[in-house]
Amino acid sequence: MNKPKMLGLIAAAAMVAAPFASASDEVQTVAVSTDAYNRLVFPEPYSQIVIPPEAELRDNPVPTDGKRGLLIRPAEDAEPFSVFVQLKSGEAFTVKLAPDADIEAQVFRYRNAPDLSEKPEQESRPKDRWIADTILSAFQGGRPAGFEPSGRPSSARMEMPNGGTLKLTAQDQYRGSGHVVNVYVLSADTSVEVEPRDFYRAGVVAISLDGDVVSERQNPRMIVVEVDRG
């Protein structure tokens, strides 16, 4: 089976020793679905993730919430495999994923990590699986299920606290299922760190970035899912 390329992840047969602030020796085994996108949720952004090259994945893993999480779906009949995670603080741990075709999407929270991409209180948030499927389809350049193309959203500029200017260049827009999906490419005239919470506003129910640094040469994509107000 051809394994997809990783999105900002590191696939390696062996991990190179590195100084960690702390590392957990306990390896927790988690059953995960092969039919849906499972979520790994961390208490802070990760600096690197190592997935063995022999691990069989159905899709590219997708970073979420400013690298505070990961969407992952093993291939059907895949063997269990370990995922090594190093957080930006230096803390590191390993979680073993055991693929199971008979269960629904699972959520693994390291140290009971909370979700940061929480909806505005007045909005009704769709199910996580629906959000994951919709965002992943948009990242892969496809039309999310239940949506139709709707031109492009408006491009925008944001003045950042460090004095730089962040540009949101519109790529695609889809409407359907009571929601709008907007796809942007980010650029900046100076290096800027970004995360989903920087872009939340009323009506937005989910945001995902495939990178957390924006510059003239680093141009991550951003998917915004919001309520369609017509």
Domain extents in the chain = 28-109, 128-227
pTM above 0.85, yes or no: no
**Amino acid at residue number 90:** G
Q: Are 78 and 34 in contact (CB under 8 A)?
A: yes
**Per-residue pLDDT, 161:** 67
Return the amino acid letter for 45.
P
Q: Which CATH architecture has domain 28-109?
A: Sandwich (2.60)
* Full pLDDT tens readout for the chain, 230 residues: 444 434 444 333 223 333 333 445 678 999 999 988 888 989 888 999 999 989 999 888 888 767 888 889 999 999 999 999 999 898 999 999 999 999 988 889 998 887 654 443 434 567 778 888 899 889 888 889 889 999 888 888 887 766 678 899 999 999 998 899 999 999 998 888 888 878 887 788 888 988 888 988 899 999 999 988 86
pLDDT of residue 203: 83
62 has which bridge partners?
Answer: 71
Question: φ and ψ at 90, to 5 degrees?
Answer: 105, -15
Structure confidence at residue 159 (pLDDT): 78
> CA 132 to CA 124: how far, in whole Å?
16
Q: What is the pLDDT of residue 24?
A: 53
